[in-house]
Homo-oligomer: A and B are copies of this chain.
């Protein structure tokens, strides 16, 4: 298990020795590699095992009957999917690799045993689920309320921050494996306008984005433009993130 995955799994609090050891064993024994741009799970499939993404990028997406595609989330190393598998009967969305991807398969029986045996593991799953839900809510807020520029800035901030907290950044730079077309499907805009929006951000010196590499030159300014409040990424963290969110309540 690469260091950032361990790091990520500890994000929600320290695991007890035996549960950590157990997880580590699992994620080393049952690893598989998948090429880029392949569906891992399909909308309508019956649900199966659970996975931990060890390395590479993947996406959740949903397709409408007429073919329009919405990318629902980006899965980064350390992310768990699809917890769904345990209770749900069928997938309402699909999951696909973007890059070559290394993932550990955790089959249902093994997990059931572990969840009963190690309360830590059950807690970890809940935390991951809560954080995913919070991210989904933030994306809905973006799609509903933010302008194209703000949405773009918000997404860049999120992907940078999530990678930073998994020790995957080098300074102001991180990997970035979405094409402009995929950005468009994520942000609910057209590829043409994605291109123009990116150029604006580049022209203003806020970011560089080339060769699957994102550099954020001025994070504070980008965050301000994005109305970015990282609280939603931290709602489950164990250590002292304030998480406090000072907006005034909505006037009812």
- Chain A residues in the interface with B (C-beta under 8 A): 12, 37-39, 42-44, 60-70, 72, 84, 86-94, 96, 123, 126-127, 129-130, 132-134, 136-141, 143-146, 185-188, 227, 229, 231-232, 234-237, 241, 243-247, 249-250, 252
Contact A188 B145 (CB under 8 A): yes
Inter-chain CA distance A244–B188, complex, in Å, is 26
Closest B residue to A82 by beta carbon equals: B130
Indicate if the CB atoms of A247 and B140 lie closer than 8 Å: no
Distance in Å: Cβ of A69 to nearest Cβ of chain B = 6
Least CB distance from A232 to B in Å reads 4
Which residues of B are found within 8 Å of A129, using beta-carbon distances?
Answer: 129, 133
Q: B139 contacts A38, CB within 8 Å? A: no
- Find A252's partner among B37, B136, B146 (CB 8 Å cutoff): B37
Bound CA–CA A244/B134 (angstroms): 27
Complex: A243 Cα to B44 Cα, angstroms: 7
Question: Shortest distance in angstroms between A51's beta carbon and chain B's nearest beta carbon?
Answer: 16
Q: Is there an interface contact between A69 and B250, defined as CB atoms closer than 8 Å? A: yes
Among residues of B, the one whose C-beta sits closest to the C-beta of A233 is B92
Q: List 29 A-B contacts (CB under 8 A).
A: A12-B87, A39-B249, A39-B250, A39-B252, A44-B244, A64-B227, A65-B227, A69-B145, A70-B140, A70-B145, A84-B130, A87-B127, A89-B243, A90-B235, A90-B245, A92-B137, A92-B138, A92-B232, A92-B245, A94-B250, A129-B129, A129-B133, A136-B136, A140-B143, A143-B144, A143-B188, A144-B186, A144-B187, A144-B188
Identity of the chain B residue whose Cβ is nearest the Cβ of A237 in the assembled complex: B89
A65, A87, A235: most-surrounded residue (chain B CB, <10 A): A87
Beta-carbon nearest neighbor of A150 in chain B: B64
Q: Given contacts A72-B140, A140-B139, is CB(A92)–CB(B231) below 8 Å?
A: yes
**CA separation between A86 and B60, bound complex, in Å?**
26
